[in-house]
Amino acid sequence: MEAEDFKFYMPTRIRFGWGSFQEIRQIVDELKGKRIFLVTGRNFAKKYSLLDKLSNYLKGLTLVVFAEIEENPSIETVDRGAEQCRKSQCDLIISLGGGSGLDAGKAIAMLQRNPGSIREYLDQERACQTKGLPIITIPTTSGTGSEVTPFSVITHKAKKAKPAIAPPQNFPDFALVDPELTMSMPFEVAVSTGLDALCQAVEGFWSTQANPVTRSLAFQAIQLAMENLESACLRKDQESVVNMALASHLTGIEMSNVGNTSIHPLSYPITLDYGVAHGFACAIFLPAVIRFNAQSMENRFKDLLHILNLPSGDAFADKIDSLMKRLKAPRRLSEVGVKAEAIPEIAKRGMGRSTAWNPRPMTEEDIIQICKTIL
Ligand code: NAD
């Protein structure tokens, strides 16, 4: 087999390990942080004592807390955070949370050294010129891998869309992944975010942009997610919780270089119009898109199906569908409120730049047909 030419870039330093949150002080000191701006969600960090622990670890330093990040963070929240960060004159950002907190933190860091509103960057009126404030990302869900990506996905209410910025300067400086922090996820959040990791892994695996490095990461992430998602959600045993954190993290590393394909853009109208959590909005399409792609993937799927002990792409789709059923994830669009007449609009808004990287070309008409099979 002839080796492919490829490029790969990962400037983020990584510490992964159960209990590693307590090493935060060492990392802050290495980055020479004295005034720390914390970006996090509205409730859980306080509720589960993460704020208390953090201020204890950072004793002697100044900690300014911005705990206002909502799910699918908005332009308004990011701009407000950026303004408060500027006023606080902090020299380092820590963002602690699921993908929402991490994406917002990265955008706020970028805006400290680049002028204007995040909207201007999302609308491509401005481009990021220089690296923002140093940032440490600490994930508390196992789904997005955002701790190691340059993406900030932000809700643009006026456009009813979730565009992203992804300048290379937006890679975090340090990702601290402590799977123990994910133990407090409610069942629904664990299922939804875990399914997001599985979707990202599958999309990364079959992307036409994939290369040998990203494909290996995606391959391992699929295997980890298929073998551990159910027990990580139902039994929460340490081994499967760590393996889901690893699956999510590996998808982040691969996705940072190749992005997603057709499923992620499809999720955005489902989240925006029907209030469905990001991972559920992605996964609802996963089995149907696997069936759609299976015939153009026969060679690529061979090793994966062998490892998973499955005879065909259809059997892979069936297995994920029954996993979703056992985990009580929505599997039909009608379950989340979608009516047949909304499908053409979903197909129109559900096509993004990365749809072109689907292994089988996918048209608006194909998406309409896919949506009909899962209505
Ligand atoms: P989230 O960050 O929106 O969190 C979901 C909910 O879980 C929130 O209410 C949050 O407060 C709560 N939560 C988070 N961690 C918790 C914990 N340990 N204990 C208890 N509650 C906890 O969910 P998410 O799925 O991680 O992130 C979704 C966002 O990430 C979307 O906006 C999506 O578009 C974006 N995303 C970004 C990337 C990227 O590379 N930047 C990739 C995929 C998705």
> 159-188, pLDDT tens digit by residue?
999 999 999 999 999 999 999 999 999 999
CA–CA dist 258, 375 (Å, integer): 30
State residue 285's pLDDT score: 98
State residue 3's pLDDT score: 79
Residue whose Cα lies nearest atom 44 of ligand 1: it is 144
Ligand 1 binding site (Cβ under 6 Å of any ligand atom): 41, 43-44, 48, 71-72, 97-101, 103, 140-141, 143-146, 149, 151, 153, 162, 181-182, 184-185, 189, 193, 196, 278-279
Tell how far CA 173 is from the center of its chain: 17
- Cα(103) to ligand 1 centroid in Å equals 9
- Cα(101) to ligand 1 centroid in Å equals 7
Q: What is the identity of the amino acid at 71? A: E
From residue 374, alpha-carbon distances to 316, 330, 331 in Å are 16, 11, 7
State residue 112's pLDDT score: 98
Rounded to the nearest integer, the mean pLDDT of the chain is: 96
State residue 210's pLDDT score: 95
- What pTM does this model have? 0.96
Closest ligand 1 atom to the C-alpha of 102? 41
DSSP for residue 39:
E
Among 44, 47, 188, residue to substitute to test ligand 1 (most atoms within 8 Å of Cβ): 44
Residue 339 has φ and ψ, to the nearest 5°, of -105, 155
State residue 353's pLDDT score: 86
Put residue 124 in one of left, alpha, beta given phi > 0 → left and psi -120 to 50 → alpha. left
CA–CA dist 71, 51 (Å, integer): 19
Three-class secondary structure of residue 64 per DSSP = strand
DSSP for residue 312:
S
State residue 348's pLDDT score: 95
Residue whose Cα lies nearest atom 2 of ligand 1: it is 98
Ranges under pLDDT 70 in the chain: 1-2
**Residue carrying structure tokens 């997001």:** 196
